[in-house]
A and B are shown apart, each in its own frame.
Chain A
Amino acid sequence: MITLRGLTKRYGETVAVDDLTLDVEEGRVTGFLGPNGAGKSTTMRMILGLDHPTAGTALIDGRPYAQLPCPLREVGALLDAKALHPARSARGHLNSQARSNGIPVRRVDEVLEQVGLAKVARKRAGAFSLGMYQRLGIAGALLGDPKVLVLDEPVNGLDPEGVRWVRELVREQAARGRTVFLSSHLMSEMQLTADRLVVIGRGHLLADLPMAELLARSASASVHVRTAEPEELRLLAGKLDDVDVSGETTLVARGTTSAAVGDLAHHIGVRLHELHPVTASLEQAYMELTAQSVEYGTTGEPKAGL
């Protein structure tokens, strides 16, 4: 489990991460979202002991990263996949990494096989494509078979097969009871991968809640209705709070459920010819959330949705 308490990072006047308090729990995939510059990477670097928090703490299973007795066996991290010596081979890189934590060298071949780089293991990493770098980075994260994975944009640069592979990999890790904390800008992918979402904007926590709840809260979650007669539509529309009449016999209702609309129609004797809910996409929900980031940020609510 990753525990952040009042985590804050200031660079002079700029507040990159502001008083972040949340738990990233085991057994599920927690997505980490936010616009560029929201403080995601800074947060991840503080979790990993690379950057020093100005205030607050970031703990992994109760300890700061730097105090983990064998960090690579406990936490697997992927930050910037291209950040490695271009003259070193994939195998050479992982070999040095394995040795640093006393991980058996056979693990190097296992993870190279697992990420599909076994054939290019002896090639200079400088000749790799971005997708190969990502695979090597993921191999490094898996090397110590850790209980916690912290992955910054792991699918960046991967082909569709690779994206799917990462999704299945992290789902499987979570199913084995591990903690997975990953960021991505690919909303559709995140919607398929994550169980829970943490959204930050300008360093503030905007949301920390299950995926289903976030989608349900979206303003674009709506109920589409078609009535038998225009007269009935007017009657129904008059009873709904947030409604757009989209045609003579059609309307879109928000802030309600299809069950509630159906019950209402029955109650007032309106015949429905069509009634279907439209769930929001994560992209829509995310856009709304981050567009309102200032408003959310100043309410000082500690945890939306909890």
Chain B
Amino acid sequence: MNREKRQGATLASAIGSEWAKLWSVSTSTACLLAGLALTGVFAFYYASIARINAHPLQPLGNAPVSALTLGQFTLLVLAMATVTGEYATGSARASLLWVPVRARLHLAKSAVTAAVAFAAGTGFGAVGLAVAWGPFGGRATFDAAQSATQVLAMGVYCALLAVLAVGVALALRTAAAALSVLVVLVAGLPVMCTGLGGPLLTAVNDLLPQTAGTYFMRGGDTPYPAPVGLLIVLGWAVAAHLAGLVVLRRRDA
């Protein structure tokens, strides 16, 4: 880490700076530990319910995927806070003085939080698998390749959510506004759509990031193949990233 020579201001150095910033505040570690605990507890809970209610056999990975419905928020907060924390303290200006190329700063933040969220997502998945096996009590199937795919899919989904959160946060700047939008988009709308029901709302729900992400992570074929779910989440992440970039470029810091 101390080997940098006069390499100048590049995307790599911007990423290095964002990485250093992320780990020099304890919020990041706290978010990851909270996410791990939430995913672990709810994977255990999900598996226990499946056993108690004698659900049909299902892949073991479904437990951590379902638990991620809660655990994902810790990663959303982590990613969002890398932006809103800077606007709240005024240090967003410092970041722009260090890396004045807006697209580069934005990309560095997205890359760092996505990498951390990917690692966290797979970590949550692996822990969730281990925790859920016991309480399932034989009501789950374990296939190494399938579980590995699901765990990786969780990592990819979390990485895209981090990109989404950074984009939304850059567009809105305050934690209150960004978190409101993220919670409504990721959790509120799916609950509302499924609660009210009907073909239109079901179709809308299938296009929302969490719903699409769940289809992707569960790896089925209904209502659409898993890769389509991935593309939908990717679309949300790209849209949020571009929205954040437009605001970052246009608005005064």
Q: Which of A45, A100, A104 contacts B9 (CB 8 A)?
A: A100
How many A-B Cβ pairs are below 8 Å?
110
Chain A proximity of B33: nearest CB distance (Å): 16
- Using a CB–CB cutoff of 8 Å, the interface residues on chain B facing chain A are 1-2, 4-10, 13-14, 16-21, 24-27, 85-86, 89-91, 93-94, 96-102, 250, 252-253
Q: Cβ of A96 and Cβ of B90 under 8 Å apart? A: no
Task: Give the docked Cα–Cα distance between A52 and B253 (Å).
Answer: 9
| Interface membership of A48, Cβ < 8 A | yes
If A99-B17, A100-B9 touch, does A92 touch B90 (CB 8 Å cutoff)? no
Contacts of B19 in A (CB 8 A): 99
Q: Cβ of A92 and Cβ of B20 under 8 Å apart? A: yes
List residues 66-86 of chain A with CB under 8 A from any CB of chain B. 66, 68-72, 77, 79-80, 82-86
Q: Cβ of B99 and Cβ of A102 under 8 Å apart? A: no
27 A-B interface contacts by CB (under 8 A): A51-B253, A52-B250, A66-B101, A70-B9, A71-B100, A72-B97, A80-B93, A84-B90, A85-B21, A85-B89, A86-B89, A87-B26, A88-B24, A96-B18, A96-B21, A96-B24, A99-B4, A99-B17, A99-B19, A100-B9, A100-B17, A100-B98, A100-B99, A101-B13, A102-B9, A104-B6, A105-B1
Q: Cβ of B5 and Cβ of A100 under 8 Å apart? A: no
| Interface membership of A49, Cβ < 8 A | yes
Q: Interface residues of A toward B: which range?
A: 35 or more
- The SS class assigned to the A binding surface is loop
Contacts of A45 in B (CB 8 A): 93, 252-253
Closest to B251 in A: A52
Q: Cβ of B98 and Cβ of A50 under 8 Å apart? A: no
Contacts of B91 in A (CB 8 A): 83-85
Contacts of B8 in A (CB 8 A): 69-70, 101-102
Task: Give the docked Cα–Cα distance between A272 and B180 (Å).
Answer: 81
Ordered nearest first, which 10 A-B pairs have the shortest CB separation?
A83-B90, A92-B24, A100-B17, A102-B7, A100-B98, A66-B100, A51-B252, A50-B253, A99-B16, A96-B20
Q: Cβ of B90 and Cβ of A49 under 8 Å apart? A: no
Interface residues as binary, A26-53 with B (CB distance below 8 Å gives 1, 0 otherwise): 0000000000000000000100111110
Task: Give the docked Cα–Cα distance between A184 and B89 (Å).
Answer: 23
Task: Give the docked Cα–Cα distance between A51 and B249 (Å).
Answer: 10
| Interface membership of A8, Cβ < 8 A | no
Q: Cβ of A79 and Cβ of B93 under 8 Å apart? A: yes
| Interface membership of A181, Cβ < 8 A | no
| Interface membership of A286, Cβ < 8 A | no
Contacts of A71 in B (CB 8 A): 9, 97-98, 100
